[in-house]
Structure 1
């Protein structure tokens, strides 16, 4: 008898930058945060638990060399991930459609969500002090499981309903944009700093 593994979900993980780069990137994030009045106003209006440039800035690579360098590196990594997925990309490949800063403090979290309109999404982690919230990925079949029995205590990752990842500073995580994920609540007063991104198909 043969058992086949069907429809696996891919999570790509890599590393980027040394300590000096992480320091430059963190300084650039704080520089942007300090001057982004529109971003702070949006965070206050929406009850965002920290700071994000998501709704206020769309030109981070033009604002600091660290962001420009990161954008180039992420594009290379995303192209490699697309090859692992065996995608037939258009001639122009992938386009980095969005790049934004996230700074979370004690209790800061992101509820479960997907990234509509994109094909690859992910996060680059700049500062992850002890107690920073993990990122949790949800089995995309969860809503269709109906009366599935509970799982045993010890289960291979490929069979779990949720996967928790504890990123370290310098880690890059990428996934297909339809994969539902959330950031668990941070349990430290120190800032959890990351840069999230979306890739689409270049026109």
Structure 2
């Protein structure tokens, strides 16, 4: 067998997936869980045809009824967005500096047995994310479902010609596939708003509770 050539593999067009734990999440989750379940019991679900389950309106009304616990949630979310984003060379007077961020939408989700969320992006927003208040039931074999699915933005193109092949580099094994993320209570996941994502069908008995949100930069002239 011929000696293998030395190859410099450079994965390109990376997509950021940010995963972090919110400080003091036990206290935040206790208050949020109570507020969200009370809201679910007293208010019809928002008419979101992508969702099988209960969802509050996709606006900022959650700030009015969910109480001060949300401040402890969104302050670190804004901090993370600031840490990982900067102005590009297209803004030469600000290049390398970091923008300020604003919460433009936030809503609660409750998934019970059979709940899911169809694949969709969040158009018109820079960062999107979801915070897990209560993950309900999670089984070691994954049969409870309800995981977050993130889809390759290149679609299925890397797998269309020869779906039985894959790139031999481990960091490229996800090309053309979706990535499954199993949440934990207190974890927050952020990703670009243009990234298609979904929630698999949940089979657990205990409710899975989350808060989704969108962030946009504050534009200053």
TM tier, shorter chain? 0.7 to 0.9
Cα distance, 1:27–1:179 mapped onto 2, change above 3 Å: same
- How far off is 1:41 after superposition? 6.2
Contact 2:147/2:181, CA 8 A, preserved across alignment: yes
User: Within 5 A, what are the aligned runs for 1:41-60?
Assistant: 42=47, 46=49, 48-55=51-58, 58-60=60-62
Where structure 2 has 5 or more consecutive residues not aligned to the other structure, the ranges are 1-6, 139-143
Counterpart in 2 of 1:62? 64
Counterpart in 1 of 2:14? 8
Query: Which whole-Å deviations, capped at 9, do the CAs of 1:147-200 have from their partners, x for residues lacking one?
Result: 144346x97354312211101010000001111111000011210100000011
Cα distance in 2 for residues equivalent to 1:91 and 1:11: 19
Say what the alpha-carbon RMSD is for the aligned residues.
Answer: 2.9
User: How many residues align structurally?
Assistant: 197
Counterpart in 1 of 2:149? 136
Cα distance in 2 for residues equivalent to 1:9 and 1:91: 19
Counterpart in 1 of 2:76? 73
Contact 1:97/1:198, CA 8 A, preserved across alignment: yes
User: Within 5 A, what are the aligned runs for 1:183-198?
Assistant: 183-198=199-214
1:34 aligned counterpart, secondary structure: helix
Counterpart in 2 of 1:98? 105
Cα distance in 2 for residues equivalent to 1:78 and 1:41: 27
* TM-score where L is the length of structure 2: 0.77
* TM-score where L is the length of structure 1: 0.84
User: Are positions 1:35 and 2:42 aligned together?
Assistant: yes
Which structure carries more helix by proportion? Answer: 1
- How far off is 1:77 after superposition? 1.9
The structure with more radius of gyration: 2
Cα distance in 1 for residues equivalent to 2:171 and 2:130: 21
Cα distance, 1:34–1:156 mapped onto 2, change above 3 Å: same
